Structure 1
């Protein structure tokens, strides 16, 4: 399956044609979110977690200006190991294509490309959101407005705790993006099991998420994305005291060094990795592997619903 704008990996193209479950995966975590050489190893583990749960992984990225839905191992290796890979949000896609760039897609870009490709489920680590001090800086992730207009289910561990979690939830409500907790009524905070905010809705199984997606289609009402917030078990989260100390230090360093915009998140994540002596990286990996597994099981259930309807 190909079109003028993007190329589909063979495995993904066959799965979409046959109505088999597919899970979209971002490539920013590979090129910008994890240190080398762990990034490539973890990227392969994420794809394997999707396969082990019965779905086909579709890691999305740009290679030489061409959007690829379902990177092969050579392409994945390229984005994981070469220097100068651009971080691509939705606004960057056309410019990057025209200039022949190598690029890794963010949550926003991955969601938009996946929905265009006909993929309805996406697994990531944590969403972007409203940054602290956004009242002055207007710094807000494009993830939020993209999900407001993109019909895709995103399995995540909430939003990164380095953000203003409360303001992010308020923005999601305003934008009409549904948020459900997976077996919880509390919103997770990425490294932390509980970010301190209640949720209106929860679901208890992949099949129940598939029922939500089916209901959305049958209603025929325009809906944006569905966020499935999947918290870490309490015994797998980052130690809360260590988290709070590290975050306070990192925020002070941001202000001291004048770090702003797209550089904020990778800066803080790198600080967490260093200050926690790798503990945050281990938590990060657990998050994405658990989310990949759940997203795959949701995709399997959703594909079964479509098959039954046919």
Structure 2
């Protein structure tokens, strides 16, 4: 699988400079409503650049995987409404999809294929509540377990079964790290109440974990808590989550996440949007710092 690289991404990789892959679902209508999705795209790209790395937004454009987009291609992504997980990459190319916005799993796969070792997102997918009946487990977990990429996220999305998500990652052999924090974050809140398996306090340690892992094709999950000033109080987000999950009964598969996130936005009177922007930017900053450290 070969992605088309933008000129700046190609030059950075050739020169051995830092590159950070970014998924495009968060920048589409499936991730954030307009104009917040466009703001998220700009703040994440600028954060990566500010800290010395090159941003590589992933997407399917005119049936071809891309890493790094033109301004016109970014506009098309902002209006995108068709998700591409890793399993869909071959179909999107075979059927020449006009625009496909990549999830965590697809972006991790494309990053690995291009030789990019660091990827930043908002929150990963995971084991859904009630998975013992539905079998609903995000492909994100399998992708992280099978591609040697450091995924930087604010934990997993808060509406998931977080204990089972951590158990799945342990079974898959994925090192789960907490960035200067002892607790597994829950997207909008800094702590889920679950201890993170391993705390790390500097970029070099994260790089060394990637280098020293025993399974050469396994990635690393670095969890970064949302900045304290942008955290939504646990009681407020818990009430919004309960309402959103109740309303989402009967919705399955890829439709669950955008529905629940939109409902949480409604239940928090829009408070979830600035929180989402803040954590996405913060993850991009940490990812850029790690990508730079990897090049040294």
What is the TM-score normalised by the length of structure 2?
0.96
What is the TM-score normalised by the length of structure 1?
0.92
Q: Select which of 7, 17, 20 maps to 1:20.
A: 17
Partner of 2:255: 263
Q: Select which of 225, 234, 239 maps to 2:233.
A: 239
Which string of whole-angstrom CA distances, capped at 9 and with x for unpartnered residues, describes residues 138-176 of structure 1? Answer: 000000111111100011010011000000000000011
Partner of 1:197: 194
Partner of 2:244: 250
Unaligned runs of 5+ in 1: 305-310
Helix, strand or coil at the partner of 2:276: helix
Looking at structure 1, the residues matched to 247 and 269 of structure 2 have their Cα atoms a distance apart, in angstroms, of: 18
| 1:290-305 equivalent positions in 2, closer than 5 A | 290-304=282-296
Looking at structure 2, the residues matched to 303 and 276 of structure 1 have their Cα atoms a distance apart, in angstroms, of: 41
Looking at structure 2, the residues matched to 36 and 234 of structure 1 have their Cα atoms a distance apart, in angstroms, of: 25
Partner of 2:91: 95
Report the alpha carbon displacement of residue 96 of structure 1 after superposing the two structures with TM: 0.9
Partner of 1:48: 46
2:65 pairs with 1:73: no
Report the alpha carbon displacement of residue 211 of structure 1 after superposing the two structures with TM: 2.5
Q: Specify which structure has the higher proportion of helix.
A: 1
Which string of whole-angstrom CA distances, capped at 9 and with x for unpartnered residues, describes residues 31-72 of structure 1? Answer: 110101221222021101000000000000011101111112
Quick check: which has more Rg, 1 or 2? 1
Matched pairs, number: 294
- Equivalent pair of 1:213/1:302 in contact (CA under 8 Å): no
2:156 pairs with 1:159: yes
Q: Select which of 95, 106, 120 maps to 1:123.
A: 120
Task: Flag as ranges the 4+ runs of structure 1 deviating above 6 A.
Answer: none
Unaligned runs of 5+ in 2: none
- Equivalent pair of 1:157/1:229 in contact (CA under 8 Å): yes
- Equivalent pair of 2:127/2:138 in contact (CA under 8 Å): yes
Q: CA RMSD in A?
A: 1.3
